[in-house]
Structure 1
Amino acid sequence: MTQPAPPAPHHGPGKQDTTGPAAAPAKTAGPARAFGLRADVRNLSLLGVLAVLVAVGGITEPEAFLDTGNLQLILTQASVIGVVTVGMTFVIISGGIDLSVGAMVALASVWATTLATQEYGFAGIAFTAVVVGLAAGLVNGVLIAYGRLVPFIATLAMLASARGLALQITDGKTQIVTVRPVLDLGLPGSYVLGIPPLVLIFAAVTAAGWLLLNRTTFGRRTVAVGGNAEAARLAGIDVRRQRLYLYLLSGLCCGIAAFMLVVLSGSGQNTNGNLYELDAIAAAIIGGTLLSGGRGTIVGSVLGVLVFTTITNIFALNNLQSDVQQIAKGAIIVAAVLVQRRSLRDDGT
């Protein structure tokens, strides 16, 4: 005679079995929650650094640094590289890198300021800058996602090609913008409640980037690809298409930044965007984005941009040479990487 099956264990009306698959989310929630807490702490730390820098600027050059015009200048200068950094943050979170952002900004800015383009006015300049940025990002994405080139090599090739094309278009000369509405956008008369329009564009891009990363499937897929591309593929994510979209996003940000730089400088030059790639990567790193991918925050990257821009402004006001400024930036980057390594070690990853 067969014995009846043993009854299932009773956990009570308010309890669940924590030994089966249902317990998996509870196990995986820990690292994510820990990262969120560290991100908050890091952002608060960066805000503290900004407060210290403001205090230093106010003490060393109180009249010049705390002047409203100078504070507007800091935010405006941070806006251009800040938009580039938003795109760079997405790329790095996915486990990639984009060394061509500065060259793409240069190419988009000179293409948008040719005489032929300026004949179409404000809309023609803005449209051209964005389309050129998207086209360059598309090339990067196709080479990396479908051509299987290493991101470092593909974007390095784009860096050289875009710089060369920008030089060929300008013939080494500065292209002056004569379209009045574009120039007016950078004048105090166009400020909204004392805020420059470029800062408002930066704020809009930052908000859109934050929502895209934290509130959409696209953002979750980006983190998944950066954390483990093979696992993401097995989970049903089209990794190649996701990477293509990410480099398109980076190109779009470069196109927007190119238009902002045209407004700010009133010209297009083949030297525009020089070393933007290094500044964007550095800002993302000190903001908490891991170079190995899988983690990062838009807010942290933006705070990193503001820290670097404020340092540059303080050094300029105090007539300190640029080499000292570069040393200070390098020290900040090294400190940020060491903090990242320590946090990873604490995670056991």
Structure 2
Amino acid sequence: MKRFNELGIVVVLVALVVVIGLFHPAFLDRAQLLDVVRQASYVGVLACGMTYLLAMRELDLSVGSTYALSLIAGSMLMRAGVNPWLAALGGVAAGGVLGLVNGVLCNALQIPSIIATLGTLSVFRGLALALSDGRQVAGLPREDPFFTVVGGDLLGVPTSIWLLVAVAAALTVVFKHTPFGHRVRAIGSNPEAARFSGISIPRMRLQVLALSGALAGVAGVLTLGFFASGQPTIGQGYELQAIAAAIIGGTPLRGGSGTVWGSVIGTIILGTVASGLVYFGVPINWSLFATGIVILLAVALDALLRRRGSVEVS
């Protein structure tokens, strides 16, 4: 069934590309298609972490802000003279720490992750703006190999795409074939049964939120490598795109299952829709509207499938 779901969204993606290409053949150019995937790769990394959270019946609404703050942290370290590779690791570590903060808040205050991260969404964004004084962090050593490697191409494909594939492959193995992945799915399927079997839900929540934060840091570093500057307002709305991508990709809101590769494809579908709107002359401001419509359709489909499944069981 999961393979069918993944195949189904691949068909949707191919159909979208073909339809846009029929009206605008330039869209089918290899460079254009790679650019669509490259732009989607940043949200794609976030969506990989969101897959784990949704599978556990959790949500992280702060990933967009964590992404921005990690990028700002890395860029400020570079501007201060820290080796860009070490500064990049610092950005990823910053994301992981912010994820831990979310987990600690959830466990200490005993509140749902959606509530805690709704608050840290503003807190982390505010920190990014405060640390950068609301301005772009520029003056980075663009001549350093870090920017050539991370922001460049490898075998004719942007490095960010290769890293997205590597992240998705690694997280798929963890999700499907390790005790950690089994515990994530067990909690999402039946929290009470998981608790009864000895699985610590607070500890798992802490670990998965930290993973989500670290992945936001990875996405921030990839963005930093490409643009060679830090923009504190970047990533606004990325949390909704990551959630939408995961749902479109076949990860149900009810938890208990998920597909990392499906989330990646879902991200590319959203990117294709946004790019297609530009080709059809639709104002860029309508892209957010289109994303919202896609989210509503995905949630509606998830609810429909859930009701159908309940009827079949009964």
Q: Tell me the TM-score range normalised by the shorter chain.
A: over 0.9
C-alpha contact (below 8 Å) 2:51/2:251 kept by paired residues: yes
C-alpha contact (below 8 Å) 2:103/2:206 kept by paired residues: yes
Cα deviation, 1:45-104, whole Å, max 9, x if unaligned, reads 2111111111122122212x1222212211111111100110111111101110000000
Taking the aligned partners of 1:52 and 1:274, their CA distance within structure 2 comes to 29
Taking the aligned partners of 1:290 and 1:71, their CA distance within structure 2 comes to 28
Per the TM alignment, residue 336 of structure 1 is displaced from its structure 2 partner at its CA by 2.2
Report the counterpart of residue 21 of structure 2 in structure 1. 58
Cα deviation, 1:124-161, whole Å, max 9, x if unaligned, reads 22111111101100101111134312212210121111
Taking the aligned partners of 1:173 and 1:330, their CA distance within structure 2 comes to 29
Matched, 1:134 2:96: yes
Report the counterpart of residue 21 of structure 1 in structure 2. none
DSSP 3-state at the match of 1:119: coil
**Unaligned 5+ residue runs, structure 1?**
1-36
Shift of the 116–307 alpha-carbon distance from structure 1 to 2, 3 Å rule, reads closer
Taking the aligned partners of 1:214 and 1:334, their CA distance within structure 2 comes to 28
Query: Letter of the aligned partner of 1:282 in structure 2?
Result: A
C-alpha contact (below 8 Å) 2:55/2:188 kept by paired residues: yes
DSSP 3-state at the match of 1:173: coil
DSSP 3-state at the match of 1:185: helix
Taking the aligned partners of 2:133 and 2:288, their CA distance within structure 1 comes to 30
1:239-278 map, 5 Å: 239-278=201-240
Matched, 1:45 2:26: no
Shift of the 323–117 alpha-carbon distance from structure 1 to 2, 3 Å rule, reads closer
1:1-349 map, 5 Å: 37=1, 39-63=2-26, 65-114=27-76, 118-176=80-138, 177-180=140-143, 181-185=145-149, 190-348=152-310
Structure number with greater Rg is 1
The number of residues matched between the two structures is: 309
Shift of the 322–116 alpha-carbon distance from structure 1 to 2, 3 Å rule, reads closer
C-alpha contact (below 8 Å) 1:80/1:257 kept by paired residues: yes
**Unaligned 5+ residue runs, structure 2?**
none
Taking the aligned partners of 1:317 and 1:119, their CA distance within structure 2 comes to 42
Per the TM alignment, residue 311 of structure 1 is displaced from its structure 2 partner at its CA by 1.0
Give me the TM-score of the superposition, normalised by structure 1: 0.84
Identity %: 37
Per the TM alignment, residue 343 of structure 1 is displaced from its structure 2 partner at its CA by 2.1
C-alpha contact (below 8 Å) 2:37/2:161 kept by paired residues: yes
Deviates more, 1:219-228 or 1:288-297: 288-297
C-alpha contact (below 8 Å) 2:56/2:185 kept by paired residues: yes
Per the TM alignment, residue 118 of structure 1 is displaced from its structure 2 partner at its CA by 4.8
Per the TM alignment, residue 263 of structure 1 is displaced from its structure 2 partner at its CA by 1.3
C-alpha contact (below 8 Å) 1:111/1:117 kept by paired residues: no
Taking the aligned partners of 1:333 and 1:114, their CA distance within structure 2 comes to 35
Per the TM alignment, residue 325 of structure 1 is displaced from its structure 2 partner at its CA by 3.2
Taking the aligned partners of 2:73 and 2:208, their CA distance within structure 1 comes to 23
C-alpha contact (below 8 Å) 2:79/2:141 kept by paired residues: no
Taking the aligned partners of 2:273 and 2:225, their CA distance within structure 1 comes to 24
Per the TM alignment, residue 290 of structure 1 is displaced from its structure 2 partner at its CA by 1.8
Per the TM alignment, residue 323 of structure 1 is displaced from its structure 2 partner at its CA by 4.6
RMSD over aligned Cα, in angstroms? Answer: 1.7
Per the TM alignment, residue 273 of structure 1 is displaced from its structure 2 partner at its CA by 1.1
DSSP 3-state at the match of 1:114: helix
Taking the aligned partners of 2:301 and 2:203, their CA distance within structure 1 comes to 33
Cα deviation, 1:167-220, whole Å, max 9, x if unaligned, reads 111101111232422322355xx4222111111110110001101111111111
C-alpha contact (below 8 Å) 1:109/1:272 kept by paired residues: no
Give me the TM-score of the superposition, normalised by structure 2: 0.93
Per the TM alignment, residue 341 of structure 1 is displaced from its structure 2 partner at its CA by 2.1
Query: Letter of the aligned partner of 1:245 in structure 2?
Result: Q
Query: Letter of the aligned partner of 1:105 in structure 2?
Result: Y
Taking the aligned partners of 1:100 and 1:156, their CA distance within structure 2 comes to 7
Deviates more, 1:87-96 or 1:120-129: 120-129
